Amino acid sequence: MAISDPRHETDDSVLADVLIVGAGFAGMYMLIKARQLGLSAVVLEAASGVGGTWRANRYPGARVDVQSLEYSYSFDEALQQEWRWTERYASQPELLRYANHVADRFSLRRDIRFDTRLTDALWDEASARWLVAADTGERWSARFLVMASGPLSTPNTPNFEGLDTFRGKIFHTAKWPLEPVDFSGLRVGVIGTGSSGVQVIPQIASQARDLTVFQRTAAYAVPAHNGPLDPAFEARIKADYAGFRERNRRMRTGFGSETPPNMVSALTASPEELAARFEERWRIGGFTLLGAFYDIMLDERANALAAEFVRGKIRGIVRDPEIAERLSPRQTIGCKRLCVDSAGYYETFNRPNVSLVDVSETPIERITPGGAVVGAREYELDALVLATGFDAMTGTLARLNIRGRKGLSLQEKWRPGPLNYLGLATAGFPNLFNVAGAGSTSAFTSVLVSIEHHIDWIGDCIAWLNARGLGAIEAKEEAEAEWMEHVQAMARQTVFLTCNSWYLGANIPGKPRLFMPLTGGYPPYAARCAEVAAKGYEGFRVA
């Protein structure tokens, strides 16, 4: 049961220096950091185990879209040397094993409260502490509250009429059951063709009797060329892992230093050079395509050349020209996150048991007990898979009762959008830090790089306060306003405002259309955060 005001029963609350929400990669590293600083810390985790997103998104085909050697912790040399990834792009089960390995290796579980969801957090002015309540009835009082609850952790289930009348089973990719699901012999519908849809569709197609894909926006899917991790490549990286991490941190995305962007404009390249560079990047795979020319994400004309290259690939893969046309995206490429494909997404539509229904013009009208109605037609289904994404960046925090100074509710404050300073803090909420969320470059990086950066920064900040006997730190309104303008101004220099994406909140009806993550690259962002700290936490008020 939610407790609306945790002040009522503070006598039985447990004291901690740091209360951390979430035991995914961010929460686990924050716990390690707190211990390094000699602070007491407790982690509240709603699930029954560690792993966060890699525990929840256990649908068949789930896999990371950044190479394993770059999507891993760098803070501990022994850890990064001992862990052996089996594939270039790790699968969800392997990522979950890695998360469990880290939890074991650093004995994290003793400070993690599983099956415990934070419901309320209230800033108590008198004690300068956060008073926190969980759905288990337990209470904590903590000096610092670190939200490591993930930017993509609240699944979006569209409000389809009749969804509750459906007779078959309904699955959401982000809330996949613990037990494996068997689709053999079933007529399955998948709604959604973002990264999750692109990964799950080939898997279901190979099992189900019939698969109907309901597509609102066609996806750009580039090959990952996944496979066993080459031992020679692994040995080369591990011979100087620290150097590799350092080179990656100088990249805009925090990864990919082995294939840096080509600093040539697509607009000045000859047709032969365009074709050669795009083909080269297609062969390498993954996000490298967007770096074939430096201006693909900055100039719509350059972007159109890359987009047309991928449409050409789709026409070459999909045998039925009419289906190829329907699968060909029209929006700018990379504007919605590029999908990295390990299972032959476009090839799947050559299978006789797979059909594609375009719901861009004629949306899904309703779900019936036996299927889905689009236009005048009912598609008969035995199971329905929602690959419909997340209420990204704000969904999780805005659903909690978090109250800062003078009872200010975060829900209220964030109604116009996630107002923040450096992506780390929000005015009116002292000693509250948000990890890898809105206002930071996390969405455009290997998120592990962003997580480590944020947590190192938070750790340094807490140590700085403690060294000076200071109790509280809070973003100033003017610094926050300036930062929000900076985030918008940076986005205006890119192609990111030309489509409807979760970056803009555009996937959730009624959500304010505001560009949430920071573009412009990780290095300048990290430099700005460092500069703020070096100037005695410029833009923050300390007490």
Residue numbers at the binding site for ligand NA7 (CB under 6 A) = 152, 158, 173, 191-197, 214, 216-217, 337, 359, 364, 387-390, 500, 502, 507
d(CA 309, CA 318): 15
Amino acid at 411: Q
Q: Pull the structure tokens for residue 461.
A: 């900040």
Q: How many CB atoms lie within 10 A of CB 105?
A: 14
In the complex, least distance from residue 527 CB atom to ligand NA7, rounded to whole angstroms: 25
In the complex, least distance from residue 246 CB atom to ligand NA7, rounded to whole angstroms: 25
Q: Which residue reads 């700018």 in tokens?
A: 332
CB nearer ligand NA7, residue 359 or residue 542: 359
Cβ pair 125, 472 in contact under 8 A: no
* Residues whose CB falls within 8 Å of the CB of residue 8, separated by 6 or more in sequence, listed in order: none
CB nearer ligand NA7, residue 192 or residue 437: 192
In the complex, least distance from residue 287 CB atom to ligand NA7, rounded to whole angstroms: 11
d(CA 175, CA 386): 10
CB nearer ligand NA7, residue 387 or residue 419: 387
In the complex, least distance from residue 346 CB atom to ligand NA7, rounded to whole angstroms: 15
CB nearer ligand NA7, residue 131 or residue 211: 211
CB nearer ligand NA7, residue 148 or residue 213: 213
In the complex, least distance from residue 451 CB atom to ligand NA7, rounded to whole angstroms: 14
d(CA 102, CA 13): 29
d(CA 418, CA 516): 7
Residue whose C-alpha is closest to residue 63's, from 83, 43, 93: 93
In the complex, least distance from residue 292 CB atom to ligand NA7, rounded to whole angstroms: 21
In the complex, least distance from residue 254 CB atom to ligand NA7, rounded to whole angstroms: 14
In the complex, least distance from residue 257 CB atom to ligand NA7, rounded to whole angstroms: 21
CB nearer ligand NA7, residue 217 or residue 420: 217
DSSP letter, residue 286: G
In the complex, least distance from residue 264 CB atom to ligand NA7, rounded to whole angstroms: 28
CB nearer ligand NA7, residue 187 or residue 216: 216
CB nearer ligand NA7, residue 195 or residue 303: 195
Cβ pair 261, 286 in contact under 8 A: no
CB nearer ligand NA7, residue 25 or residue 244: 25
CB nearer ligand NA7, residue 27 or residue 329: 329
CB nearer ligand NA7, residue 161 or residue 531: 161
With both helix axes pointing from N to C terminus, report the angle between 522-534 and 241-249 in degrees, rounded to the nearest 10.
90
Q: In whole angstroms, how far apart are CA 438 and each of 8, 265, 489?
A: 32, 30, 15
In the complex, least distance from residue 155 CB atom to ligand NA7, rounded to whole angstroms: 8
CA atoms within 13 A on the CB side of 105: 15
Type and span of the H or E element at 121: strand 118-124
d(CA 147, CA 448): 16
CB nearer ligand NA7, residue 146 or residue 385: 385
CB nearer ligand NA7, residue 359 or residue 463: 359
In the complex, least distance from residue 387 CB atom to ligand NA7, rounded to whole angstroms: 6
Q: What dihedral angle (degrees, nearest 10) is formed by the CA atoms of 289, 290, 296, 301? A: 50
Type and span of the H or E element at 530: helix 522-534
Bridge-based pairing of strands 112-113 and 41-44 is parallel
In the complex, least distance from residue 57 CB atom to ligand NA7, rounded to whole angstroms: 8
d(CA 360, CA 326): 10
What one-character-per-residue DSSP string does 291-320 give?
Answer: GSSTTTTT-HHHHHHHHHHHHHHHHHH-SS
d(CA 401, CA 194): 30
In the complex, least distance from residue 162 CB atom to ligand NA7, rounded to whole angstroms: 13
Which residue's Cβ lies closest to ligand NA7? 194
HEC string of 356-414 equals: EEECCCCCEEEEECCEEEECCEEEECCEEEECCCECCCCHHHHCCEEECHHHCEHHHHC
Cβ pair 175, 389 in contact under 8 A: no
With both helix axes pointing from N to C terminus, report the angle between 300-317 and 271-284 in degrees, rounded to the nearest 10.
60
In the complex, least distance from residue 406 CB atom to ligand NA7, rounded to whole angstroms: 36
d(CA 106, CA 108): 5
* Residues whose CB falls within 8 Å of the CB of residue 272, separated by 6 or more in sequence, listed in order: none
CB nearer ligand NA7, residue 195 or residue 248: 195
